[in-house]
Amino acid sequence: MKIICVGLNYQSHNKEMNRAPSSKDDDPVLFMKPDTALLVADKHDFYIPDFSSDIHYEAEIVVRIDKMGKNIAERFAHRYYNEITIGIDFTARDIQSELKKKSLPWEISKAFDNSAAVGIFVSKDHFGKNINELDFHLDIDAKTVQTGNTSDMIHPVDKIIAYASRFFTLKTGDLIFTGTPAGVGKVVIGNHLTGYIEGNKHLDLNIC
């Protein structure tokens, strides 16, 4: 199992991070996390690692691949996944910032153990609507901190799958984190995170 993540996929987040706007004509920006990054939120807590003092949450829709594929045409990409959830891409922002200043790869700030938290997966048909029109949000301690709609993605899910499959053979169980909207921020010990899709809670996570 591998975890493929998409960066720069919401203009609102690009703006809050002082990044240049992305275009639908650009290729999706991909990075990877290893299988050791996976954290199943309904079974485990997230422990802030000792190597960072600035861990940020980034809530996003996560798709689980259920069929092996390579060089998938975008028009057929919907056949390769059935389940979705909301997840958290945890980022060691202090480490990432220092590495960026040095023009070095920032993988360790994104791919560390337990940095990819996922909620409970459900069939995409559960919502009775287009996967590209889903509302989602993240609460911390019962206060909403992030809201998004998949219609605001620069690159929709099927395009991401088609593009990623040019470079990586997609296998059953692979996860795709599809990018985060504006509202990212720091977590601290004692926080309680809950994530929702279309008003239904799918993620419940304590920060320790």
Secondary structure of residue 60 in the 3-state scheme: strand
Q: What is the average pLDDT across 139-145? A: 98
Q: Taking Cα atoms as reference points, which of 36, 90, 21 lies closest to residue 59?
A: 90
pLDDT at residue 129 tops 90: no
CA distances from 28 to 61, 138, 159, 166 (A): 16, 24, 8, 12
Which residues, 6+ apart, have CB-to-CB distance to 183 below 8 Å? 16, 59, 138, 145, 146, 147
* Fold that domain 3-207 belongs to in CATH: Fumarylacetoacetate hydrolase; domain 2 (3.90.850)
Q: Dump pLDDT digits (tens) for 39-98.
A: 999 889 999 999 999 999 999 999 999 999 999 999 999 999 999 999 999 999 999 999
> In this model, does residue 176 exceed pLDDT 90?
yes
d(CA 199, CA 181): 17
All structural domains of the chain with their residue ranges: 3-207
pLDDT over threshold 90, residue 110 = yes
